C-alpha cells in the first residue's frame, strides 16, 4: 500500500570508514492539519443543522356566528394578554378590560403562571390580543410563551376599541408616546 | 537477575489516517451542505421553542417584511401549480398577461409577487434577473375591502387541489401586527386555518414549564 519509507537509516551496518549520509525525515507533523480539518467539520455540522428554520403551528378557529358552535369561555378562567408598543404587555383577568395592568416580557410569564395555578386547567384560557402597535415578533413571542408555559387553550383575537382605549390611557399615564 | 527490558515506544502517532478521515468527513459535509440562495427579501424571523423543521415543498409562502409589506410566493419545485395560479389570476383579474410574462413568473425560482394586481403585468414584463433591485409596494392586505392576498390564496388553493399544501408565513420581527392580521383575514376568507409560522429555533428557557416537561420526557422536541 501507499506507505512512506520513513526509516531514518539504521538497520544496515556499514563498514568502518563509510560515511553515513544524513537522511532527512520525510515525516511531517500532521497534527495541526487534523486540528484544522476537525474545526471545519464542526463548523459545517453546526451550520447545516442550525440554519434550518423551524415552523410554529398556528391553527385558527373558524369564524362563526352560531352561538352553539362557539367556544364557551368562563369569566373566571379567562386571561387576556395584549402585547403593545415598546415591548410592553398589558393584561387583565376575567372579562372586564378596566382591570388592565401593565407588564413587560420579563414579568408576564409569572402573571400567566400565577393565573394558571389558580384556575381549573380545563377552563383556563389565554386570549392574545396584540394591539396595532405590537410587532409581529411580539405576536409570535406571545404564541411561543403559550408553548413555554404549557397553556393548552389560547386564541389569537383582534383587539376591541374599548381595550385599545384602556391601553392608550395606561400608556399616557406611563409617558409612552 | 536482570529485569525484563520494556522497550520504549515512540509516542508519535501516525496522523495520516486521522487526517484522511477528517478531510473525508469535511468534504462530505461541504458537499451535503445546502447553501441557501441569498433571499431577495431580507427578513429576520422571530425565535420560538418549536423544533419541527419547516417543510420545503408544496408551500405557499407569505412574506412580511419589516415595513409590513406582504409578498406572495410558491416553492420552487411546484412549477405546475405556479402556472395554474398565474393563469387563474390573469383570467380572473383581466391582467392580460402574455405567455412570456407568465414564464417569467414560472421559471424564476425565487419569484414572489409584491405588487397590486394593477402592477403585476409591468413587474412580470421584466426578466427574472432584473428583479433584484425592484422595490415592490407589497400586496394590499390591510384593508378588508381591497385584500388582494385573498385572491392569490384563492388561486393557490385551487391550484393545489387534491394535494397537501402548507401555508408558511415568514414575518420580520419589526412587522406590525395589522399586517399579520390582514394576512390572517385573507386566510380565513379562504377557509385556510392552519399555518406554519417560520421561526428560528431557540431552546426552552431554563426552569419554565416546557423545560420541565422536556426534562421529564427526556426529549427536546416541541411541536
CB neighbours of B69 closer than 8 A, spacing ≥ 6?
B114, B136, B137, B138, B139, B179
The minimum CA-CA distance between B96 and chain A, rounded to whole Å, is 35
Instruction: Tally the domains of chain A.
Output: 1
Burial of A105 (0-12, 13-18, 19+ CB in 10 A): middle
Whether residue A136 and residue B172 make contact (CB cut-off 8 A), yes or no, is yes
Whether residue B26 and residue A135 make contact (CB cut-off 8 A), yes or no, is no
Partner-chain residue, chosen from A45, A83, A147, that has the shortest CB–CB distance to B50: A147
Whether residue B175 and residue A147 make contact (CB cut-off 8 A), yes or no, is no
- Domain membership of residue A136 (yes or no) is yes
Hey, of B24, B25, B48, which one would you mutate to test binding to chain A, going by the most A CBs within 10 A of its CB? Answer: B48
- In this complex, is the C-beta atom of A44 within 8 Å of any C-beta atom belonging to chain B? yes
Q: Chain B contacts of A37, Cβ < 8 Å? A: 19, 22-23, 25-26
C-alpha cell at A81: 394578554
A53 vs B17: which has the higher pLDDT = B17
Give residue-wise pLDDT tens across range A84-131: 888 888 888 887 888 888 888 888 888 888 888 888 888 888 889 898
Per-residue pLDDT at A12: 52
Partner-chain residue, chosen from A34, A40, A48, that has the shortest CB–CB distance to B15: A34
Give residue-wise pLDDT tens across range B139-190: 888 777 778 888 888 888 888 888 888 888 888 988 888 888 888 888 888 8
Whether residue A47 and residue B33 make contact (CB cut-off 8 A), yes or no, is yes
Determine the Cα–Cα distance for residues B122 and B40; give it in Å rounded to an integer: 19
Segments in chain B below pLDDT 70:
1-2, 34-40, 110, 128
Domain range holding B152? 47-201
Whether residue B208 and residue A148 make contact (CB cut-off 8 A), yes or no, is yes
Per-residue pLDDT at A10: 47
Query: How does residue A1 score in pLDDT terms, banded at 50, 70 and 90?
Result: very low
Instruction: Please say whether the beta carbons of A126 and A111 come within 8 A.
Output: no
- Domain membership of residue B39 (yes or no) is no
- Domain membership of residue A85 (yes or no) is yes
Pairing status of strand B112-113 against strand B47-48: unpaired
Instruction: Please say whether the beta carbons of B155 and B186 come within 8 A.
Output: no
Whether residue A62 and residue B51 make contact (CB cut-off 8 A), yes or no, is no
Q: Chain A contacts of B29, Cβ < 8 Å? A: 41, 44-45, 48
For chain A, positions 85-104, list CB contacts with chain B under 8 A.
none
Per-residue pLDDT at B75: 80
Least Cα distance to B166 among B55, B67, B80, B53 occurs for: B55
For chain B, positions 104-163, list CB contacts with chain A under 8 A.
none
Instruction: Please say whether the beta carbons of B55 and B166 come within 8 A.
Output: yes
Q: What angle do CA B61, B67, B68 make, to 5 degrees?
A: 45
- In this complex, is the C-beta atom of B77 within 8 Å of any C-beta atom belonging to chain A? no
Instruction: Please say whether the beta carbons of A41 and B25 come within 8 A.
Output: yes
C-alpha cell at A29: 507533523
Q: What is the mean pLDDT of chain A?
A: 79
* Model confidence at A66: pLDDT above 70: no
CATH number at residue A78: 3.30.420
Query: How does residue A9 score in pLDDT terms, banded at 50, 70 and 90?
Result: very low
DSSP lists the bridge partners of residue A128 as A81, A156
Partner-chain residue, chosen from A45, A54, A134, that has the shortest CB–CB distance to B29: A45
- Domain membership of residue A45 (yes or no) is no
- Domain membership of residue A34 (yes or no) is no
Q: What angle do CA A157, A54, B149 make, to 5 degrees?
A: 50
- Domain membership of residue B12 (yes or no) is no
CB neighbours of A157 closer than 8 A, spacing ≥ 6?
A127, A128, A129
Sheet holding A78-84, edge to edge: A101-104, A88-93, A78-84, A125-128, A154-156
Per-residue pLDDT at B116: 85
Per-residue pLDDT at A8: 46
Determine the Cα–Cα distance for residues A134 and B179; give it in Å rounded to an integer: 11
- Domain membership of residue A31 (yes or no) is no
- Domain membership of residue A5 (yes or no) is no
Least Cα distance to A103 among A89, A119, A117, A116 occurs for: A89
Q: Chain A contacts of B220, Cβ < 8 Å? A: none
Determine the Cα–Cα distance for residues B223 and B208; give it in Å rounded to an integer: 16
Instruction: Tally the domains of chain B.
Output: 1
Average pLDDT on A64-85 reads 76
Partner-chain residue, chosen from A31, A144, A150, that has the shortest CB–CB distance to B48: A144
Instruction: Please say whether the beta carbons of B102 and B124 come within 8 A.
Output: yes
Percentages helix, strand, coil for chain B, rounded to the nearest 5? Answer: 40, 15, 45
- Domain membership of residue A55 (yes or no) is no
Per-residue pLDDT at B29: 81
Domain range holding A149? 74-173
For chain B, positions 41-70, list CB contacts with chain A under 8 A.
45-55, 64
- Domain membership of residue B31 (yes or no) is no
Q: What angle do CA B31, B33, B35 make, to 5 degrees?
A: 110
Backbone CA torsion sign across B89, B95, B98, B102: negative
Whether residue A44 and residue B199 make contact (CB cut-off 8 A), yes or no, is no
Alpha helices in A29-124 (DSSP H): 31-50, 108-118
Least Cα distance to A91 among A118, A109, A70, A74 occurs for: A109
Query: How does residue A67 score in pLDDT terms, banded at 50, 70 and 90?
Result: low
CB neighbours of B66 closer than 8 A, spacing ≥ 6?
B43, B44, B172, B173, B174, B175
Per-residue pLDDT at B37: 58
Amino acid at each position: 500500500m501507499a506507505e512512506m519509507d520513513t526509516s531514518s537509516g539504521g538497520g544496515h551496518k556499514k563498514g568502518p570508514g563509510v560515511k553515513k549520509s544524513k537522511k532527512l525525515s520525510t515525516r511531517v507533523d500532521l497534527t495541526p492539519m487534523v486540528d484544522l480539518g476537525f474545526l471545519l467539520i464542526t463548523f459545517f455540522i453546526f451550520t447545516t443543522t442550525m440554519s434550518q428554520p423551524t415552523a410554529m403551528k398556528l391553527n385558527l378557529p373558524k369564524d362563526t356566528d352560531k352561538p352553539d358552535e362557539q367556544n364557551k369561555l368562563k369569566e373566571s378562567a379567562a386571561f387576556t394578554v395584549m402585547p403593545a408598543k415598546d415591548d410592553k404587555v398589558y393584561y387583565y383577568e376575567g372579562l372586564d378590560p378596566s382591570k388592565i395592568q401593565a407588564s413587560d416580557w420579563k414579568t408576564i410569564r409569572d402573571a400567566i403562571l400565577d393565573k394558571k395555578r389558580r384556575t381549573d386547567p380545563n377552563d383556563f384560557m389565554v386570549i392574545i390580543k396584540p394591539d396595532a402597535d405590537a410587532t409581529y415578533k411580539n405576536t409570535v413571542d406571545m404564541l411561543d410563551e403559550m408553548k413555554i408555559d404549557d397553556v393548552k387553550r389560547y386564541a389569537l383575537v383582534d383587539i376591541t376599541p374599548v381595550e385599545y382605549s384602556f391601553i392608550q390611557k395606561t400608556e399616557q399615564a406611563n409617558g409612552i408616546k | 537477575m536482570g529485569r525484563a527490558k520494556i522497550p520504549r515506544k515512540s509516542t508519535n502517532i501516525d496522523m495520516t489516517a486521522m487526517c484522511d478521515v477528517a478531510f473525508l468527513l469535511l468534504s462530505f459535509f461541504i458537499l451535503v451542505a445546502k447553501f441557501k440562495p441569498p433571499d431577495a427579501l431580507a427578513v429576520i424571523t422571530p425565535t420560538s421553542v418549536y423544533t419541527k423543521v419547516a417543510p420545503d415543498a408544496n408551500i405557499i409562502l407569505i412574506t412580511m417584511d419589516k415595513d409590513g409589506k406582504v409578498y406572495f410566493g410558491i416553492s420552487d419545485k411546484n412549477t405546475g401549480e405556479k402556472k395554474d395560479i398565474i393563469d387563474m389570476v390573469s383570467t380572473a383579474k383581466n391582467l392580460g398577461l402574455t405567455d412570456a410574462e407568465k414564464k417569467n413568473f414560472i421559471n424564476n425560482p425565487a419569484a414572489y409577487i409584491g405588487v397590486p394586481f394593477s402592477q403585476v403585468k409591468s413587474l412580470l414584463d421584466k426578466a427574472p434577473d432584473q428583479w433584484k433591485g425592484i422595490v415592490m409596494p407589497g400586496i394590499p392586505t390591510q384593508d378588508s375591502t381591497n385584500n388582494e392576498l385573498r385572491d392569490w390564496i384563492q388561486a393557490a388553493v385551487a391550484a393545489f387541489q387534491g394535494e397537501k399544501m402548507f401555508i408558511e408565513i415568514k414575518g420580520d420581527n419589526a412587522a406590525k401586527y395589522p399586517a399579520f392580521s390582514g394576512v390572517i383575514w385573507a386566510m380565513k376568507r379562504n377557509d385556510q386555518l392552519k399555518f406554519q409560522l417560520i421561526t428560528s429555533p431557540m431552546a426552552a428557557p431554563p426552569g419554565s414549564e416546557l423545560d420541565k416537561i422536556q426534562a421529564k420526557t427526556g426529549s427536546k422536541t416541541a411541536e
